[in-house]
Structure 1
Amino acid sequence: MLGECGMLERDRRGLRKYAVTLCKEMVVDELFIQSLQTDDILTDSMAESILAEPTSHKRIWRLLSLLPKRGPRAFSSFCSALRDTEQQHLCALLSEYVDSPLPLPTQEGIVPTKRARTQESMEMCLDADSPITSSVLPCTPDFYLEHCQQSYSMVSSPRGLALVISNVSFDPCAAPDLDSRKGGEVDEEVLRKVFTELDYIVTVRRDLTAQGMRECIEQFGRQQQHQTVSSCVVCLLSHGVEGAIYGTDGQLLELDWVFEAFDNAHCPLLQNKPKMFFIQACRGEEMDCGVEQPDGPERTQSPGCEQRDAGREGEGDGDTRQMEERGRLRVKLPQRSDMICGFASLKGTAAMRNTKRGSWFIQEVNSALRFRARDTHLSDILVQVNTNTHHISQS
């Protein structure tokens, strides 16, 4: 499939995916530009405008902004220019896109005509509230150049490792009061897709006991690849109470232990790197709005699809945390520096989940990341997610 200006869409994605790496490592000199001129990819005026840029970063970004408009041969000629100028390591990064007959399966800008029925029905359920098929919007060159010195370095590819733990089904004997979290499987797929598009390696684990979650998190934190990537993401989806989430066996895993597992003392591989946490679970029993169906031991008889991710009443209330909160945003300093956490609910309240479309919080996080990650700080994104979720609850 051709892009709007003639370049194959998969090739355009290749340039977007590795744009930051190319900006950091590529050398665009006269020899490189001449190679593209020889292939009739760049005109003389284009070549002059690129070489006239005052810095290497600006030369690279101008070139990358022009290439998608130069036809279906531009990408292969660009790779040839990399080889001709002894930049084979960058060509290797892009090689997976060269002569590929189909779009890469992890990219969502082009949706294959054939797909598993379960995936198709899942996306149709989400269409009303979540732009699941919309690709993540890329950062513009000008914005990157303006803010790169004040932001975390996010130049690795992959950007980082992401762990999604989702408890959907609970042991009816060990946890009789914890109902199945219908819609939780939708959240898994939404998170897997959006973080894959953001260039993370995503691991999804389903239905773990409290001890199983602990072991999974410990193993994830020890992965040596953390040393070479720029960031880390952890998503926990389950029933919960203030300060803890439930395993499938009805036992609680303390969130404070989770944060501790990734602090500077316990996870040195991630020191000075952003660590992002997203918690879809209740933090109490209070409802901050009218809802149709509570997901706890005492259920109202209602035909709606909305549920909450609360657990047994009263458990965990005595486990207080002296941490500053603003909406769903939590930042811990200094021992737990470079951490940010988005919660699905305020302290003491329930988190809402649609049994067909997934949780309100994850829907809003997905939408916000796709459209605003390109130019908005994550803390501001979470504030907007908080506002949007509140509006949903009032509708």
Structure 2
Amino acid sequence: MINSDSRKFACSLLDIDNNMGSEDLEAFKFFCIDLIPLKKLETVESAHNIFQYLINEDILNEEDNFIVAEILYRIKSISLLTRFGYTKDAVEKDLPRRGRVSEYRQMLYDLSEGLTKEEVKAALFYLRDHIPKKLSTDSALELLINLEKQCFISETNISLLEETCRKISPELLKILAAYKERQDPYTEESGSMREYAGSLHSFAASQDLKAGNVQEPSLQQPVGQDRLKPAAEESALYKMNGPHRGYCLIFNNVHFKEPFRPRNGSQKDAVELESVFKWLGFEVKKYDDKTSAELDKLLQDWQSSECWKDSDCLVCCILSHGESGKIYGTDGGLIPINTITSFFTAKRCPLLAKKPKLFFIQACQGQKVHQPVYLEADSHEPGSPGADAQTSGFIATQQQVTSSIPEEADFLLGMATVDGYFSFRDVQHGTWFIQALCKKLWELVPRREDILSILTAVNADVSKLSDKNGQKKQMPQPAYTLRKKVIFPVPRDPPPMSKQL
């Protein structure tokens, strides 16, 4: 007779299997390459198959299930890690003692995370003499596995990777340099070793970022507090008195190709955002129903625009269907949020360097659940009323969204919901998050509140909302790398009468 512990163990593994998306499964398989023969992994169609093999090899059992927790941590699937009974901190603490994944495997995964789909395609072309002609993929993991199978790369031979990165994405060379230094501790430390030494726990840092704990070192030191003057206080604020406040870009996707349902109520959000940001002095540009390719082209155009030279700030609002770390174009194409934000890094958009870049994303980040008819979730699951997000039926994970904000400073990302969860949209009154955001901007900007305080108030308001049965809730989440406070100048004109509280 199966005891309760065995059932609990089996149920926890089945729960992970049932809620693991396809991208997470591929990443999970990648981290198992050193544990499971590659030929077996190539036939794997579910996490359950992997678990069974690990159990058969006594790598995984009721007394020691750390290998699953370790890989969930490494693929940044913190929502599943929590469901498995672990915390991020607990895994980090035990990794040095119990970790099974090699530094080489982690390095390759870090490399894959840094490659865009376009760069993977460029790498395929560059390596066309090293890979089968039939190989056509935009998956960096698939490309790396193929190079490993043919013995072009190995734990002691990464020269081909260095050559490729030098041609395709030089920024990734630091990952390879750090790995080499870790293999030979007697080489001269150039700084990259320290970077990679922290990469094992890089996700912990990203979670601090998402919790709003990122500060510049200089701001953490209370140096000269006794000598603070109004001018010093001003230096802690982003400049907002230039010739032009900036642009607010609103991408409002309402109508999608089948099987996506219209995002009725989103028009209300777009109108409200346009009204409040015009009031704050921004020039608003609104784009309706854009495909993924159209959105990409528009972002490229704005990236290269000369208008940012005299602008104080960028605001970008995206209203669409979504899944973990991504949003949908009206054609059903997915765009990673980190791709969107990366258009405006200091390197790619120098005219916005050291200026605040604020992104507000209204889209689901996880699995749709049952809800009252008058509410819709910004996710997509065909065949149910108001569905908008992923079709796989798996719950979303942290893998994509953890890197949504560039590591460099001056970004803020306001998400409608935490990763792995749905966000609600009232078909008549708009979404909970955008409506609360606009309300708090109208209310708190005249009080000289900074944007993070405003978003905290938005969190409080949205957290109090629920469906008519009191069972459906939502929790927005800000993440930022701001170095200073963002305080919008108080507009000369008061809010419209209907907005005054």
- Normalising by structure 2, we get a TM-score of 0.44
Q: How does 1:1-20 map to 2 (within 5 A)?
A: none
Indicate the residue corresponding to 1:297 in structure 2: 381
1:343 to 1:291, Cα distance in 2 relative to 1, 3 A:
farther
1:263 to 1:314, Cα distance in 2 relative to 1, 3 A:
farther
Aligned residue type for 1:232: L
Aligned residue type for 2:431: S
Whether the 8 Å CA contact 2:315–2:358 is kept in 1: the answer is: yes
Q: For the residues of structure 2 that align with 1:345 and 1:360, how far apart are their CA atoms? A: 10
Indicate the residue corresponding to 2:429 in structure 1: 357
Q: How does 1:1-395 map to 2 (within 5 A)?
A: 147-171=233-257, 176-285=258-367, 287=369, 291-292=372-373, 293-295=375-377, 296-298=380-382, 309-314=388-393, 317=396, 320-321=399-400, 323=402, 332-333=406-407, 335=408, 337-374=409-446, 375-393=448-466
Q: For the residues of structure 2 that align with 1:251 and 1:319, how far apart are their CA atoms? A: 20
SS of residue paired to 2:464: helix
What are the superposed Cα offsets for residues 243-274 of structure 1, whole Å, 9 maximum, x if unpaired? Answer: 11111111111111111111111111100000
1:362 to 1:319, Cα distance in 2 relative to 1, 3 A:
closer
Q: For the residues of structure 2 that align with 1:393 and 1:236, how far apart are their CA atoms? A: 23
1:309 to 1:385, Cα distance in 2 relative to 1, 3 A:
farther
Q: For the residues of structure 1 that align with 2:419 and 2:430, how far apart are their CA atoms? A: 21
SS of residue paired to 1:393: coil
Aligned residue type for 1:156: G
* Cα offset, 1:313, TM superposition: 3.6
Q: For the residues of structure 2 that align with 1:232 and 1:359, how far apart are their CA atoms? A: 22
Q: For the residues of structure 2 that align with 1:236 and 1:286, how far apart are their CA atoms? A: 19
Q: For the residues of structure 1 that align with 2:454 and 2:397, how far apart are their CA atoms? A: 31
Runs of 4+ in 1 over 2 A off after TM superposition: 144-149, 289-301, 307-319, 321-324, 330-333
Whether the 8 Å CA contact 1:284–1:349 is kept in 2: the answer is: yes
1:310 to 1:157, Cα distance in 2 relative to 1, 3 A:
farther
Q: Which of the two has greater helix per residue?
A: 2
1:223 to 1:201, Cα distance in 2 relative to 1, 3 A:
same
Whether the 8 Å CA contact 1:309–1:353 is kept in 2: the answer is: no
Q: For the residues of structure 1 that align with 2:301 and 2:309, how far apart are their CA atoms? A: 14
* Cα offset, 1:191, TM superposition: 0.7
Whether the 8 Å CA contact 2:396–2:419 is kept in 1: the answer is: no
Q: For the residues of structure 1 that align with 2:243 and 2:387, how far apart are their CA atoms? A: 37
Whether the 8 Å CA contact 2:249–2:286 is kept in 1: the answer is: yes
Structure 1: unaligned runs, 5 residues or longer: 1-143, 302-306, 325-329
Q: For the residues of structure 2 that align with 1:224 and 1:166, how far apart are their CA atoms? A: 24
Whether the 8 Å CA contact 1:332–1:340 is kept in 2: the answer is: no
What is the percentage of aligned positions where both structures have the same residue?
28
Aligned residue type for 2:432: W
Whether the 8 Å CA contact 1:160–1:230 is kept in 2: the answer is: yes
Whether the 8 Å CA contact 2:381–2:388 is kept in 1: the answer is: no
Whether the 8 Å CA contact 2:382–2:391 is kept in 1: the answer is: no
Q: For the residues of structure 1 that align with 2:340 and 2:327, how far apart are their CA atoms? A: 10
Q: How many residues align?
A: 235
Structure 2: unaligned runs, 5 residues or longer: 1-229, 471-501
Whether the 8 Å CA contact 1:283–1:347 is kept in 2: the answer is: yes
Aligned residue type for 1:265: K
Q: RMSD over aligned Cα, in angstroms? A: 2.6
SS of residue paired to 2:361: strand
Q: For the residues of structure 2 that align with 1:387 and 1:332, how far apart are their CA atoms? A: 26
SS of residue paired to 1:169: coil
* Cα offset, 1:376, TM superposition: 1.6
- Normalising by structure 1, we get a TM-score of 0.55
